């Protein structure tokens, strides 16, 4: 068992995770031509399934086996194909630079670990491929996201975690109406930190 997966296995078994894609991903990725996509810390795949329905060839990587089983079930129901990989994303290395889009949504491993993940994510991108990162800002402490303030994001923390191999096009705070909360009755707005970047050529 991958340690990071244990808590999430229980959480996904006990609460249904939302199925709507992140509105900020929809805003930024809707106009991209479909290609190969990678979703790191995918959960049950709400973002990947939206992309797959638009023609993207998606690979989902997560520590939680329950999340990936649920993603497979959702994909089957939606009539789309996905690939799943169960692994710890902190320390994971891509086999090659083959993806046109990498999604890192609401992962929150802490700034140093996030820097490792984003460096690997950038390494997985083709030249000019896009990196989408979103997570809860520190102001959400006690409302949305992890209870450990060290794991929450800020613009400064995300800025420090982004590798020099990407060119940052957006790095900003945005308000999300429907956060990816596991609590079904909790839909109050949360403040998200968003980055949208593209892999530098060469």
Binding site for ligand SAM (CB under 6 A): 4-5, 8, 41-43, 46, 62-64, 67, 88-90, 105-107, 109, 180
Cα–Cα distances (Å) from 197 to 32, 70, 131, 141, 143, in that order, read 13, 29, 5, 26, 28
Token readout for 54 is 């638009």
Tokens standing for 13? Answer: 């078994």
Q: Which residues of 81-105 are buried (b: 16+ CB within 10 A; e: fewer)?
A: ebebebeebbebebeeeebbbbbbb
| Closest C-alpha among 69, 59, 124, 67 to residue 92 | 124
Between CA 23 and CA 12 the distance in angstroms is: 21
Q: 123 Cβ partners below 8 Å, 6+ apart?
A: 93, 94, 97, 165
């Amino acid at each position: 068992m991958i340690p990071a997966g244990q808590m999430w296995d229980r959480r996904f078994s006990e609460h249904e995770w939302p199925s709507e894609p992140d509105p900020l991903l929809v805003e930024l990725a809707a106009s991209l031509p479909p290609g190969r996509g990678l979703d790191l810390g995918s959960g049950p795949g709400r973002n990947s399934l939206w992309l797959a329905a638009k023609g993207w060839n998606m690979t989902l990587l997560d520590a939680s086996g329950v999340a990936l089983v649920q993603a497979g079930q959702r994909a089957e129901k939606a009539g789309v194909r996905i690939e799943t990989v169960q692994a710890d994303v902190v320390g994971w290395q891509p086999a090659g630079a083959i993806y046109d889009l990498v999604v890192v949504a609401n992962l929150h491993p802490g700034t140093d670990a996030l820097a490792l993940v984003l460096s690997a994510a950038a390494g997985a991108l083709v030249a000019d491929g896009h990196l989408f990162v979103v997570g809860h800002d520190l102001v959400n402490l006690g409302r949305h996201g992890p209870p450990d303030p060290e794991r929450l994001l800020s613009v400064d923390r995300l800025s420090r975690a982004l590798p020099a191999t990407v060119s940052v096009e957006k790095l900003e705070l945005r308000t999300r109406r429907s956060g990816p909360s596991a609590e079904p009755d909790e839909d109050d707005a949360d403040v998200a930190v968003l980055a949208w970047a593209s892999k530098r050529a060469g």
